Amino acid sequence: MSFVIKRGVNYKAGKGRPSFRFPALLTESGLLISHLRFLHENRYKSQSWLERNTFAVELLLKFLERQVSSFSSATELLRGFVEALQFGTIQDGKDNSGLFWSPRRNEDVNVLLRHITDYCDYLDSIHGTNLPKLNPLRKSTYAEERMQWCAYYRRHSRSFLNHLVKPSTQQLSLARKIRGPERHFVDVEAVYRFPEDRIEDLLLHGFVSASGEPDYASQLIVMLMHFGGLRMSECFHIYTDDISIDPKSGSALISVYHPSNGKSPDERFSKRREYLAHKYRLKPRNEYSRSHRLYAGWKGPLLTNINLSFDVMFYPASKAVEFTLLLQKYLSTRPVSEFPFLFVNSKGNPESKKNFHQKHNRAVQRIGLEPCKSLGTTPHAHRHAYGYRLGQGGFSQLEIQKAMHHKSPDSCLVYLKPSDDEVRQQMRSAH
């Protein structure tokens, strides 16, 4: 009986090499070792990327197992895979494939194809571009050979790559045989800003316990996002030692370090990875699986200090002093904790993204709003509000890039777009 199952495994590239935790695909023939090796080569990419790549290959393996005999050529098979992703496999209430896939968004289909392309390129680099002697799509059940055959076909037809690169005149007709669906460009980002007229209400009245006690930790996290422009995940990488106070102004000075390679607060260790491992038996929080309670992502912001960190820039600047006053209240009531992270839960363990997200939802509801991305009431909407406020304050694009720690100056443009209502108001004012 054939199957494809995803499991977490510990992988070592060789004797004496460090062990890494990866998602692995198990088939009736055993582990898909080549994919584990591929993930190991890409081990410095985000946990989200590793999980999504594994999911893409898992889908292709399942499709190959179910659909090989249904197509007369590789071209038709690969076209069928794209169509199955885009339109689903259920037709007229029936699914002869047994996959029972629902239709996917065009953007999602293209992301999955991009991941498959990356893996197929890796197989080409290892095995070359010669077609295996046996046709594994028809005669073999070995998942490795199937994927190697797909890599061969992708290389020669460029069918998986046409949505990524502009083909030459000679390649144009072949590239159009199998292509990802057209991406829809929808300008909806402008509405994702937390309403400025409700932020103080959220901080003062949203984050309170059932007994009415303030939740200082959640208030601080919101201030870091709304007035400091941090992503939610970045807040959970901050250590207590990463904060100092300017003795003249009383402003909080906060550095956000690279989770693994940033400078250790303990001089006995060179990097934070080593510091966490030796003192707390922990990994950097971005290296846990997404389902782990300690997981916190890392989007690769622009680091501006030699110690592999960047500094939080509060706007308006007066919020840095307010942060200091709130921080003092938090630290005086903070549960005793053995961990270095600034934000901990009631038991003294590192606070989780999931727990804070739930607190944020309840706080939003407590002040009479609905937690909804399109209404700008989710945690990431605070960063959008920060970027838009900088634009309204007259900061240049390069200055906003610096404040939001983007590697590209164009990345901040999405935060500067006015909403439809604001454009209409401007049109009315023009008369």
Which helix (H) or strand (E) segment holds residue 144: the answer is helix 143-157
Q: Please, which residues have CB within 8 angstroms of residue 221's CB and are 6 or more apart in sequence?
A: 232, 235, 343, 356
Asked if residue 419 has pLDDT above 90, the reply is: no
Minimum mean pLDDT among 201-210, 213-222, 272-281: which range? 201-210
pLDDT number for residue 82: 82
Residues in the chain: 431
Q: Is 138 helix (H, G, I), strand (E, B) or coil?
A: helix
- How far from the centroid of its chain's Cα atoms is residue 194's Cα? 21
331-341 pLDDT, tens digit each: 999 999 999 99
Give me the mean pLDDT over the 126-133 stretch.
57
Name the β-bridge partners of 4: 27
Give me the mean pLDDT over the 40-60 stretch.
92
Asked if residue 132 has pLDDT above 70, the reply is: no
Which helix (H) or strand (E) segment holds residue 232: the answer is helix 232-235
Based on DSSP, count helices (H) and strands (E) in the chain, helices before strands.
Answer: 17, 6
Instruction: Give the range with max mean pLDDT: 99-103, 178-182, 202-206.
Output: 202-206
Domains of the chain in sequence order: 4-175 (no CATH), 190-426 (1.10.443.10)
The model carries a pTM of: 0.72
pLDDT number for residue 122: 84
Per the model's pLDDT, the better-predicted residue between 61 and 230 turns out to be 230
pLDDT number for residue 69: 63
Give me the mean pLDDT over the 118-143 stretch.
58
Asked if residue 231 has pLDDT above 50, the reply is: yes
pLDDT averaged over the chain?
Answer: 84
Q: What is the DSSP string of 356-415?
A: HHHHHHHHHHHTT----GGGT-STTHHHHHHHHHHHHTT--HHHHHHHHT-SSTTTTHHH
Query: 196: number of CA atoms within 13 Å, CB side?
Result: 11
Give me the mean pLDDT over the 82-93 stretch.
87
Asked if residue 165 has pLDDT above 70, the reply is: no
Minimum mean pLDDT among 15-29, 40-54, 130-144: which range? 130-144
pLDDT band at 182 (very low <50, low <70, confident <90, very high): low
286-302 pLDDT, tens digit each: 999 888 999 999 998 99
pLDDT band at 188 (very low <50, low <70, confident <90, very high): very low
Per the model's pLDDT, the better-predicted residue between 181 and 336 turns out to be 336
Greatest extent of the chain over all pairs of C-alpha atoms, in Å = 76
Which token pair is 49? Answer: 């990327």
pLDDT number for residue 64: 83
Nearest-angstrom CA–CA distance, 161 and 175: 8
Q: What percent of the chain has pLDDT over 90?
A: 53
Q: Edge to edge, what strands does the sheet with 252-257 contain? A: 243-245, 252-257, 309-311
Vertex 7: Cα angle to 110 and 97 (nearest 5): 55
Which token pair is 356? Answer: 């804070």
Residue 412 burial by Cβ neighbours in a 10 Å radius (0-12, 13-18, 19+):
buried
